[in-house]
A = this chain, B = another copy of it.
């Protein structure tokens, strides 16, 4: 099909191209199988998995905002057991990386989900969502404190045989501190960003538009913030970084790769254009071919220092 190598490695994990579907926006993959050939993707990140099934927050759960959306799905998922029985067998037949996004409300819960996935075939890696409220410390997310984030990472590593990617929250003063702590704890890779916390109000009823009051902001609106954080993190860690946030086309994906992300995840864009992931893979390939770039590696981290006058 083409000469450009799109393969990338996230630690021990090899991806056929740097484009993944983001957790929570692609269901269990199957939802998109009628529309696109999933085997052409770099990988799929599964909706956040917890030990027990979770039904999620009361509706309304989503609201559109300027160039974005807020969601308060509440990490609804089928739970570990049903995932292994009902979802994984189908996923196993795919010829693409299947990454399981996991979460817990305590460090132990993170360990337990990880242990539940240990030795199971067909799972390429674990992505640890540390943006959910930490019951042990009373609500603040695991991802906001470098020490807590490191502890969760260690706990997952202790309980798994898979590569571990830790997904960082942007709702922090200094994301590089969390990134460094997680790297030191042994993570194989980082993915960022998760959603920014936001809210919207219905001025007619004077009540929040989401039943859960606040929710997570995603979509193109957050892209500049995500890109900035990716670049800051890439500067201070050696492990690979997966860029996420508002990517809707290959140009957006390139911004993250140029900034130093080894791969990207596409979230909200899947809702707008179910072919978004594939369009991005094709767009990246064409961009490279048109410029006779032999490997996507030549793009990754190729950001130039600025050459404007006065600098």
**Docked-complex contact B304 and A205, CB < 8 angstroms:** yes
CA–CA, A305 and B205, complex, Å? 11
Query: Is the C-beta of A162 less than 8 angstroms from some C-beta in chain B?
Result: no
**Docked-complex contact A308 and B211, CB < 8 angstroms:** yes
Known A203-B251, A221-B222: A310·B68 in contact at CB below 8 Å? no
**Docked-complex contact B221 and A66, CB < 8 angstroms:** yes
CA–CA, A227 and B68, complex, Å? 15
**Docked-complex contact B173 and A211, CB < 8 angstroms:** no
| Segment of A38-46, A194-202, A273-281 engaged in the interface with chain B | A194-202
Query: Is the C-beta of A30 less than 8 angstroms from some C-beta in chain B?
Result: no
**Chain B residue with Cβ nearest A248:** B66
**Docked-complex contact A207 and B255, CB < 8 angstroms:** no
Question: Which residue of the partner chain, among B206, B211, B255, B258, contacts A304 with CB atoms under 8 Å?
Answer: B206
Query: Is the C-beta of A220 less than 8 angstroms from some C-beta in chain B?
Result: yes
How many of chain A's residues have a CB under 8 angstroms from any CB in B? 58
A251: chain B residues at CB < 8 Å are: 203
**Docked-complex contact A196 and B225, CB < 8 angstroms:** yes
Q: Whole-angstrom distance from the CB of A200 to the nearest CB of chain B?
A: 6
**Docked-complex contact B206 and A68, CB < 8 angstroms:** no
CA–CA, A214 and B229, complex, Å? 10
Question: Which residue of the partner chain, among B171, B174, B200, contacts A255 with CB atoms under 8 Å?
Answer: B200
Query: Is the C-beta of A107 less than 8 angstroms from some C-beta in chain B?
Result: no
**Docked-complex contact B302 and A206, CB < 8 angstroms:** yes
| 11 A-B interface contacts by CB (under 8 A) | A59-B308, A59-B309, A67-B220, A67-B221, A68-B221, A68-B224, A144-B173, A144-B174, A171-B173, A172-B172, A211-B309
Question: 9 closest Cβ contacts across the A-B interface?
Answer: A198-B224, A58-B310, A66-B220, A211-B308, A67-B67, A221-B221, A66-B67, A199-B228, A207-B304
